[in-house]
Amino acid sequence: MTGIRRTVRMVLMVGAAVLAIAAAAVAIRVGLDIYYHRAYPLGYQSLIDEACANKQLDRALVYAVVRTESSFDPSAQSSVGARGLMQLMPDAYDWVRMRRGESHEGVDYNDLFDPAVCVDYGTDMLRLLLEEFGSVRNALCAYHAGWGSVKQWLENPQYAPDGQQIQEIPFADTQAYVEKVERTMEIYRSLYPEEFN
């Protein structure tokens, strides 16, 4: 009888341990899920989704750029003067305005702190760069390092052996930026499969 009691007690203890481990695993998974959804939000969703629909942009790309550039802070300003959700520089803003055929009268770079303005011009910039350079990787290089840099890199076989796609990014900070945005795109697709697939 004592042996049976020990066996039953042992089975109950093992079962309790298995249940405790399973509960801990579920709690960790739920905690991680909450953390990642807070760290990678769908901020300004109506603005971003509408701009992406109108400009035929990959939503994961735009969310990844906004998260990487400003962490969804519309008042973000870099040390070099980039502003707003998509961290546009005044010259990039001017370039997009010129490509849109807008005059420079009444231009106020503080408008870039308005999420609607910044998303509108930032997504236009991404669309123009994608059309110009043909790939997300090339467009991200241009978004970070500038249009002229990417033109030069595409002409250099050391960086773009086929002249079409940048394989080797010569600026370490641009390389890190492109990798971060690409990784963030994948995280968004993984976290929100119903939104991005």
Measured CA to CA, the distance from residue 147 to residue 23 in angstroms comes to 52
| Average of per-residue pLDDT across 161-169 | 96
Measured CA to CA, the distance from residue 189 to residue 59 in angstroms comes to 10
Categorize the per-residue pLDDT at 7 as very low, low, confident or very high, splitting at 50, 70 and 90: confident
The candidate with the shortest Cα–Cα distance to 139, out of 29, 18, 58, 33, is 58
Q: How many other β-carbons are positioned within 10 Å of the β-carbon of residue 134?
A: 13
Using CA atoms, how far residue 85 sits from 43, 73, 107, 114, 117, in Å, is: 10, 6, 18, 8, 10
Average pLDDT score over the chain: 88
User: pLDDT tens, 128-160?
Assistant: 999 999 999 999 999 999 999 999 999 999 999
Query: What is the reported pLDDT for 66?
Result: 98
Q: DSSP letters of 118-141?
A: HHHHHHHHHHHHHHHHSSHHHHHH
Measured CA to CA, the distance from residue 175 to residue 189 in angstroms comes to 21
Across 14-18, 40-44, 64-68, 166-170, least confident range: 14-18
User: pLDDT tens, 37-71?
Assistant: 788 999 999 999 999 999 999 999 999 999 999 99
| Average of per-residue pLDDT across 76-87 | 94
Is 88 strand, coil or helix?
strand
What are the catalytic residues? 69
What are the beta bridge partners of residue 32? none
Contact 147, 125 (CB under 8 A): no
Token readout for 68 is: 């990487």
| Average of per-residue pLDDT across 7-32 | 60
Stated pTM of the model: 0.84
